[in-house]
Amino acid sequence: MIGRLNHVAIVVPDLSAATALYRDTLGATVSAPVDLAAHGVTVVFVTLPNTKIELLHPFGDASPIAPFLDKNPAGGMHHICYEVDDILAARDRLKAQGARVLGDGEPKIGAHDKPVLFLHPKDFCGTLVELEQA
């Protein structure tokens, strides 16, 4: 059901410093920061030959990742994102098997302008999983 690994998301306390680390120290190609007000985050994508790293930083007072950064002031891995061919079929199959879809269960448009869903970390070995329509 799942396809390729789309990205690994890392919450960072200082987006400029994290961007410089990946660009200057590791030699990666990085995007410009993009504010996603509807999601409460600012993102920078690090392009790798086989996947991406998504650097996340809180945007606005109600950012859903602010509590994560409060608990992990140095930042850390937030979620992994897998591609699926049919997000609704994937959701229905997972729910039928007992997995919990976060929110109202309906896909939202994510950072790549594609439908996404998040799955409860307690159902996936303690890892928050994002599914993205391929």
111 DSSP assignment: T
Strand pairing class (52-58; 2-11): parallel
CA–CA–CA angle 98, 95, 115 (5° rounding): 140
130 is catalytic: yes
The rounded distance, in Å, linking the Cα atoms of 127 and 134 is 21
Nearest alpha carbon to residue 40 among 63, 6, 71, 14: 63
Neighbours of 36 (CB within 10 A): 14
- Which of 54, 83, 130, 132 is labelled catalytic? 130
Nearest alpha carbon to residue 15 among 51, 79, 69: 69
* Catalytic residue IDs: 130
